[in-house]
C-alpha cells in the first residue's frame, strides 16, 4: 500500500519537465519496481540532455546520464546478504513534444551500459512528462526501463531539470 501511495504522490507532484532547446542538466530520485525492487529500494541519477528545435512543438537531441541504485540487505534463513549497488550509464536519442506552454512529454531511447560487475546493460527506454516551473527550471516524472539479458530493471523517477 505504501508503494501505491508513494507512486500516486510522485505522479501528482511530478507532472513536469519543460521541453526546451539547448543543454539541460537534471537530477532524479527513483523507486525500483518489479524485480528491481528485490535488489534495491532507492536510486539516484543525473542526466545531461541537449535538444535542438525541430518545430515549434517538437525538440530532438541526445541524452546521457548516470544512475546508481543502492543495494539492499536481504535476510535469508542462513543470515543476511548485502547486495552491491547497481549502476547504469544510459546513452540515448531524446525527443520532446510541447503539449502546452507548461507541459511536455517525451521519450529517451538507447542503450544503458552496465557499470558494476556482472551488469551487461541493455536496451534503455524512458518515457516522461514534464512541467515547467519557470524558464530555467522544471519537474519531471519518468519511468525508466532497461531490458537486461534474462530480466528487466525498472524505476519510477521524480526529477528536477535545469536549462543551462
Question: Over pLDDT 90: what percentage of the chain?
Answer: 80
Confidence (pLDDT) at 20:
62
Query: What pLDDT is attached to residue 11?
Result: 39
Give me the number of domains the chain comprises: 1
Please provide the distance, in angstroms rounded to a whole number, between the alpha carbons at the two ends of the chain.
39
- Sign for the CA dihedral angle at 107, 15, 161, 10 comes to negative
Q: Which CATH number belongs to the domain containing residue 145 in this structure? A: 2.40.160.20
Mean predicted confidence (pLDDT) in 127-147: 97
Domain that holds residue 49: 2-163
pTM of the model: 0.84
Amino acid at each position: 500500500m505504501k508503494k501505491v501511495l508513494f507512486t500516486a504522490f510522485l505522479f501528482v507532484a511530478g507532472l513536469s519537465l519543460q521541453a526546451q532547446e539547448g543543454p539541460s542538466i537534471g537530477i532524479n530520485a527513483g523507486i525500483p519496481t518489479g524485480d528491481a525492487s528485490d535488489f534495491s529500494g532507492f536510486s539516484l541519477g543525473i542526466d545531461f540532455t541537449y535538444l535542438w528545435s525541430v518545430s515549434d512543438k517538437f525538440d530532438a537531441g541526445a541524452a546521457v546520464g548516470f544512475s546508481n541504485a543502492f543495494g539492499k540487505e536481504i535476510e535469508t534463513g542462513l543470515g543476511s546478504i548485502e547486495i552491491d549497488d547497481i549502476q547504469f550509464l544510459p546513452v540515448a536519442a531524446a525527443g520532446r513534444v510541447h503539449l502546452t506552454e507548461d507541459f511536455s512529454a517525451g521519450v529517451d531511447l538507447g542503450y544503458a551500459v552496465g557499470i558494476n560487475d556482472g551488469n551487461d546493460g541493455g536496451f534503455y527506454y524512458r518515457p516522461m512528462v514534464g512541467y515547467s516551473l519557470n524558464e530555467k527550471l522544471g519537474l519531471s516524472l519518468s519511468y525508466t526501463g532497461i531490458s537486461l539479458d534474462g530480466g528487466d530493471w525498472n524505476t519510477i523517477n521524480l526529477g528536477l531539470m535545469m536549462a543551462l
